[in-house]
Amino acid sequence: MGTLAATEAALVEGIDAAMMLAQVEQWCAINTGTRNLAGLAKQAALLADAFSVLPGELRLEPPAPVEAVAADGRAVEIEHGAHLVLRVRPHAPRRYLLTGHMDTVYPADHPFQTLTWLDAETLGGPGTADMKGGIAVILAALKAFEQSSLVSPYVGYDVLINSDEETGSLASAPLIAQLARGKAAALTYEPSALPDGTLAGARGGSGNYSAIVTGRSAHAGRNPQDGRNALVAAADLALGLKALSGDGLAINPARIDGGSANNVVPDHAVLRFNIRPRSGEDAARFAAAIGPLLREVELAHEVGIHLHGGISRPPKPLTPEAEKLFELVRSCGAALGQSIRWQSSGGVCDGNNIAALGVPVVDTMGVRGGAIHSPQEYMIAASLSERAALSALVLHRLSGGE
């Protein structure tokens, strides 16, 4: 244990680890796959009740409209759950943003639905690490922070728990942007990058696209020359996209929808692909290259191509302001006897969106755990109170503490 001032020690001593664990067990018993709207509504109600112990105004914000491309190429609206927002002292001149998400990657029919103690310290289950454990950390940290001697009309914060992070936060991106503007700092409660508590530093970006290819049908035996094969064009486009990968830009052609009977030249296909630019320059390189590639494939195959989608997670470099916040987190960890380090990550999260607005953010303040997005997901139970103490101390020192 490092050195804590008496006021700081008092700040973290009251964190109730047993209550935090009970909350995680209750919340993880509810399936909240991003498309399970009933489960998300149930979870949101429980979270609203839990967060009502904090001062401020609680509300459920409706999701922003989101369109996706169906297999037949039509744009269809995708329903999402509501987002929980808590605003505390909204007129304070110094304010922070804390974010988490209530959705998981496990749909209602997924076999991974129950909690299991893997050993005395390790709880396995859907959402334990990613990130219902993190939501419990947010609540406990803020309850502790509200006891700080530095809490005043001059310091406030917003909390956002969204319902669609696992699918890119398209239905909450406008809300994230609205709440992030003007904040002195932000903390996001994804699980640690490694089970030892290592934080994620710089992150690359991510974008999802659908290329809708329109050709011309014809009989595969009688007059194939009159057809324009959309499936072949989509495959050619996939190869062209893969050739653009490298030097900070990864492109993954993931799926082609389309085709018809074996004796019909297919006139329709949809190519789905993901891009991962490491930096803004890599994103710009893709933007400059995609138009010429589409035109090349259109001309070669005499088809039309319409591109739908975009970069939903901008690259997140480690700026000097972010480094300063990371150093504050590290010093707080040292005072608590926690060794904090960070490393770059290929994953993306809401921290990308927040950082794009110029707000310094540490986005792996949640529990220690691992194997997320798999039936082996787990949380190290002791990290609930550890991470809550870390966040409470970070908020205290951000507000002018020791």
Please state the pTM of the whole predicted model.
0.96
- Residue 174 CB partners (closer than 8 Å, separation 6+): 64
State the average pLDDT over residues 179-199. 97
Q: Is the pLDDT of residue 402 over 60?
A: no
Q: Please give the residue range of the domain that contains residue 211.
A: 206-313
Token digits of residue 97: 């943003």
Using the 3D structure, point to which of 265, 288, 313 is the last residue of a domain.
Answer: 313
Decide: helix, strand or coil at residue 353. Answer: helix
- The band of 3, judged by pLDDT with boundaries at 50, 70 and 90, is confident
Is 300 found in the same domain as 365?
A: no
1: in domain: no
Q: Which residue has the tokens 């659908």?
A: 210
Domain check: are 196 and 210 in the same one? no
How confident is residue 218, by pLDDT bands cut at 50, 70 and 90? Answer: very high
Q: How many CB atoms lie within 10 A of CB 112?
A: 16
Q: Once rounded to an integer, what is the mean pLDDT over residues 183-208? A: 97
CATH number of the domain residue 288 falls in? 3.30.70.360
Q: Are residues 197 and 110 in the same domain?
A: yes
Handedness of CA 73, 75, 76, 78 (dihedral sign): positive
Residue 166 sits in the same domain as residue 20: yes
β-pairing, 94-101 vs 155-162, is parallel
Q: Concatenated DSSP letters for 91-155?
A: T-SEEEEEEEE--BS--TT-S----EEEETTEEE-TTIIIIIHHHHHHHHHHHHHTTSTT-STTE
Residue predicted with more confidence, 151 or 375: 375
Q: What is the pLDDT of residues 295-323, one digit of tens each?
A: 999 999 999 999 999 999 999 999 999 99
Query: Do 196 and 49 fall within a single domain?
Result: yes
pLDDT at 165 over 70: yes
Cα–Cα distance between 231 and 229 in angstroms, integer?
5
pLDDT of residue 383: 98
Judgement on whether residues 357 and 244 belong to the same structural domain of the protein: no
C-alpha 72/C-alpha 191 separation (Å) is 37
pLDDT band at 148 (very low <50, low <70, confident <90, very high): confident
CB 60 within 8 A of CB 83: yes
Mean pLDDT value across residues 117-137: 98
Task: Please report whether residue 164 resides in a domain.
Answer: yes
The Cα–Cα gap between 270 and 257 comes to 5
In this prediction, residue 1 carries a pLDDT of 52
Kindly state the average pLDDT of the residues 376-393.
98
Select from 266, 298, 313 the last residue of a domain: 313
pLDDT digits (tens, 9 = 90+) for 181-190: 999 999 999 9
Claim to verify: residue 222 and residue 175 sit in the same structural domain: no
Answer with the one of 296, 313, 330 that is the final residue of a domain. 313
Does residue 153 share a domain with residue 89?
A: yes
Alpha carbon distance 53, 139 (integer Å):
9
Question: How does residue 2 score in pLDDT terms, banded at 50, 70 and 90?
Answer: low
Residue 88, domain CATH:
3.40.630.10
State phi, psi for 248 to the nearest 5 degrees. Answer: 95, 0
Q: How far is it, in rounded angstroms, from Cα 281 to Cα 255? A: 27
Is 376 part of any domain? yes
Domain check: are 271 and 394 in the same one? no
CA nearest to 19, candidates 147, 137, 117, 98: 137
| Per-residue confidence band for 287, with pLDDT thresholds at 50, 70 and 90 | very high
Rounded average pLDDT over 257-284: 97
pLDDT digits (tens, 9 = 90+) for 336-357: 999 999 999 999 999 999 999 9
| Tokens found for residue 23 | 């909350």
The pLDDT assigned to 205 comes to 98
- Please report the beta strands in 170-284, taking only residues with DSSP state E, as ranges in sequence order: 185-188, 199-203, 206-214, 218-219, 249-258, 264-265, 268-277
Residues 300 and 345 in one domain: no
Percent of the chain with pLDDT over 70: 99
Question: Which of 98, 129, 110 shows the shortest CA–CA distance to 27?
Answer: 129
- Report yes or no: 4 and 331 within 8 Å, Cβ to Cβ: no
Q: Are residues 281 and 341 in the same domain?
A: no
Residues 283, 248 contacting (CB under 8 angstroms): no
**What is the pLDDT confidence band of residue 149, given thresholds at 50, 70 and 90?**
confident
Residues 53-69: pLDDT tens digits?
999 999 999 999 999 99
200 shares a domain with 73: yes
Total domains in the chain come to 2
The overall average pLDDT reported for the chain is 97
pLDDT exceeds cutoff 60 at 400: yes
